[in-house]
Copies of this chain bind each other. A is one copy, B any other.
């Protein structure tokens, strides 16, 4: 527990099944091109004609931008309200459909698992499953994120030792 996070929700305050509404973000041409120039400078993320000729069928955001925008939505709607200690990693990220110029993405993050760290009693590990969709309700991305959250009372309760999908022992932030 520390001064910054003491009034935020801790591990003990979270429950499997809780659904976070991530809000929505509209993806503009400028956003797509700016991100692509820095991180993913492929013609189908930069040029309308090249994009039309590609599998994407038109100018579309880098899938990594969709992921980064989702992270931002998660931060604004959820991570800032809990005693987050940082991310561990993620798994099973799938891009289902391209996010095109003018699309509005929205979605949910559902708490699918909560467990205590074996090696650090003050750390809880929170797993979130994401379902991101466009304005027509079509899935555009799914992923599973593992994030650390402070345990309010580390001395209390048992620390179960299930199979550990993320190598918490060696992770720099765990």
Contact = CB atoms under 8 A, between A and B. Distances in A.
Given A55-B86, A86-B54, A89-B95, A71 B39 contact: yes
Interface residues on A, range: 35 or more
Contacts of A88: 94-95
Contact of A96 (B93, B143, B172): B172
Interface in A90-109: 90-98
B75 A89 contact: no
A79 B43 CA distance: 12
Interface stretch (A6-14, A124-132, A153-161, A163-171): A163-171
B39 A68 contact: yes
B40 A75 contact: yes
A20 interface: no
B92 A42 contact: no
A40 B72 contact: yes
B171 A75 contact: no
